[in-house]
Chains A and B, each alone.
Chain A
Amino acid sequence: DGGITQSPKYLFRKEGQNVTLSCEQNLNHDAMYWYRQDPGQGLRLIYYSQIVNDFQKGDIAEGYSVSREKKESFPLTVTSAQKNPTAFYLCASSPPGQRLNTGELFFGEGSRLTVL
């Protein structure tokens, strides 16, 4: 079945360690996004990519890095420079902005990162 797969679902990390969250999609979507969600808050945009080998910073990119070497994959690295990394991370993708598409975002099930 087509969809977005995020892994791991739960992750624990010690302070000072980098960690990479995986996001894979088989929907043939061009655009992919990473959001962060803190308890009781809405989603905040970290990074997004509209095409392979290109990506842009979102509102809270500091302390994070991404790559987009393949259309299907958009991994997010949470670096030790991120001061408060404990959060719920959501990956999404969307098809090209064409009239035949709704322009909707398809989300994965999320990865919950806890820093000990």
Chain B
Amino acid sequence: DAKTTQPPSMDCAEGRAANLPCNHSTISGNEYVYWYRQIHSQGPQYIIHGLKNNETNEMASLIITEDRKSSTLILPHATLRDTAVYYCIVRDWGNTPLVFGKGTRLSVIA
């Protein structure tokens, strides 16, 4: 079973920041938080990951709470092409298979 809890759906206005929450209250010390997204009928795409520090790359920012029990993925200026299902996943370092939940379906609205 997935170790994370996400809202099933969210809407965001185009050009605004999209903030996608994720709860992972049972995360262990050696587990990372990964975010992927899946655009309809395509393979999932890696977005970002982190352990305990906040992370930022060209796609998004990841904010992890100090107790690591929850995190937020931030898309700073959402576009219509960001409409997708976003998956929050926790796993330890290495080749442990990712366990996907149902994710959050983000709809960016013009």
**Interface positions of A (Cβ within 8 A of B):** 4, 30-31, 33, 35, 40-45, 48, 50, 58, 88, 90, 92, 94, 96-97, 102-110, 112
Contact = CB atoms under 8 A, between A and B. Distances in A.
Closest 4 pairs (CB-CB, A-B): A97-B94, A107-B43, A42-B100, A104-B46
Contacts of B101: 42
B97 A102 contact: no
Interface of B: 2, 32, 34, 36, 41-46, 49, 87, 93-95, 97-103
A31 B95 contact: yes
A50, A92, A103 — which one has the most chain B CB atoms within 10 A of its CB? A103
B95 A96 contact: yes
B62 to A, nearest CB: 13
B93 A97 contact: yes
A104 B33 CA distance: 11
Nearest to A94: B95
B58 to A, nearest CB: 14
B32 A103 contact: yes
Nearest to A97: B94
Contacts of B49: 102-104
